[in-house]
Structure 1
């Protein structure tokens, strides 16, 4: 199971940017900030997906995916993202699939020059991107909580690193980001945690944003969380749109639960790579994660 990263310093952010310069992506952010998911084959439980026996030691190395073991074609990448199991209860109790449940895998969300998120066709640097969305309906007067998770396969680790760097820059470029016709994200604070800085105990790179979103006609802002992890050429992103009126304790619990769900998915990506690396030539033909045989972000167009 995945540990929580500590806040990274400005020096760590600079280090990440130095390794990822010439950013240019256009979606993972989108894929990050507001939609997510993937379903598939077996309905594995969170315990099974995040089992300690399948997880590498956080102290020895991060969850990762070697480029040689990653999907190489669009067809392989689509099978891969669809093969990853993402269950509603990964993120806590009471969640269910949202309608629409999936977005992708041949499009992703892009933050335009006008700071509006919209879905566009994948660029040549991305093989597949799938978002799955979940909702925890409001109870006892509390509003609904929305969670999304997006898995994106880039053509190379270099391109995935550029995407991470671009994501760090977006809150600076757009202090207010329009998610859709009614919701605006604002006052976002970003940070990044590269594994080799020892502030990130989980994946190759780890980005986090915290801020608030405002619904037109609603005077009180609500908390907004966004997480993005890189494992070689693959990124896993999740967003949490909190309900109005949550206590600090409730917000923390919801955020921690969402990070746990991201951990189940990153562990499966890591497992997929290790299985592929150790497989026989005939076995490597399979592109779906072994835990779930094959059978949508912060962003506009994800609603």
Structure 2
């Protein structure tokens, strides 16, 4: 049984400035069709890479300026339109590049703590996720040997304006100073298994892009 990763990241390839980090994040990102052939860009497609999502003390998500330890955070939004009697599916990918591994590791630790603190979280005025359960898998734990660290999160997504609840999935992984996360919010007619498949494909592809650039 291997006792260490079969990949070695090269620190000299880690982005050192915000401009380098943003270029890196764009190269690692994938097109909406990686979620599925009928996914397309939402408008706006990208959030400000100088800000990222922060869960406040009231368990409400806010966009705030990046902390000193982060160089960039590129969030991109994709959507599968309602079709075939099923509702729309929203997908979000985020590539965050930190100044060092410790800062990226702290992001992962904070993420695990947030579910314990806020099992119900407000995404917007009409949206929330609840019943959240998360599982952390550092390299070598639970068979996870693809990344330095990994977190899976599941729960229920509720959209009050649409009057419905559906499965919710989110995953984040760390490779060196880079974290990658993918969120999938479902709606009518989409099963948890279907959404899990939709989530995994872009996650695996972005992480492969990150790894191939940093080794």
TM-score norm. by structure 2 comes to 0.92
How far has the Cα of 1:217 moved from its partner? 5.0
In the superposition, relative to structure 1, how do residues 62 and 103 fare at CA in structure 2: closer, same or farther (>3 Å)?
Answer: farther
Match of 2:20 among 41, 51, 76: 76
CA RMSD of aligned residues (A): 2.0
> Which protein has greater RCO, CA pairs closer than 8 Å, 6+ apart?
1
Contact 2:60 2:121 in 1 (8 A): yes
How far has the Cα of 1:67 moved from its partner? 3.4
Partner residue, 1:257: 198
How far has the Cα of 1:243 moved from its partner? 1.6
Instruction: Give the number of the structure whose alpha-carbon radius of gyration is greater.
Output: 1
Partner residue, 2:137: 193
Deviations 1:269-301 (A, max 9, x none): 111112xxxxxxxxxxxxxxxxxxxxxxxxxxx
Q: Which secondary structure state, in structure 1, belongs to the residue aligned with residue 140 of structure 2?
A: helix
Deviations 1:211-242 (A, max 9, x none): 01111255542111000000011000000001
Partner residue, 1:6: none
Where do residues 4-19 of structure 1 align in structure 2 (5 Å cutoff)?
A: none
| Runs (5+) with no aligned partner, structure 1 | 1-57, 275-303
Provide the aligned length of Structure 1 versus Structure 2. 214
Distance in 2 between residues matched to 1:189 and 1:86, nearest whole Å: 27
Partner residue, 1:214: 158
How far has the Cα of 1:141 moved from its partner? 2.5
How far has the Cα of 1:167 moved from its partner? 0.2
2:82 is equivalent to residue 138 of structure 1 = yes
Greater percentage in strand: 2
Distance in 2 between residues matched to 1:216 and 1:62, nearest whole Å: 46
Distance in 1 between residues matched to 2:4 and 2:204, nearest whole Å: 17
Partner residue, 1:273: 214
Q: Which secondary structure state, in structure 2, belongs to the residue aligned with residue 257 of structure 1?
A: helix
Q: Which secondary structure state, in structure 2, belongs to the residue aligned with residue 221 of structure 1?
A: strand
Partner residue, 1:230: 174
2:51 is equivalent to residue 110 of structure 1 = no
Contact 2:73 2:96 in 1 (8 A): yes
How far has the Cα of 1:61 moved from its partner? 2.9
| Runs (5+) with no aligned partner, structure 2 | none
Distance in 1 between residues matched to 2:96 and 2:7, nearest whole Å: 16
Partner residue, 2:33: 89
Deviations 1:120-149 (A, max 9, x none): 111101000100110000113211000010
2:115 is equivalent to residue 171 of structure 1 = yes
Contact 1:64 1:270 in 2 (8 A): no
Greater percentage in helix: 1
Where do residues 24-43 of structure 1 align in structure 2 (5 Å cutoff)?
A: none
Contact 1:212 1:222 in 2 (8 A): yes
Q: Which secondary structure state, in structure 2, belongs to the residue aligned with residue 197 of structure 1?
A: coil
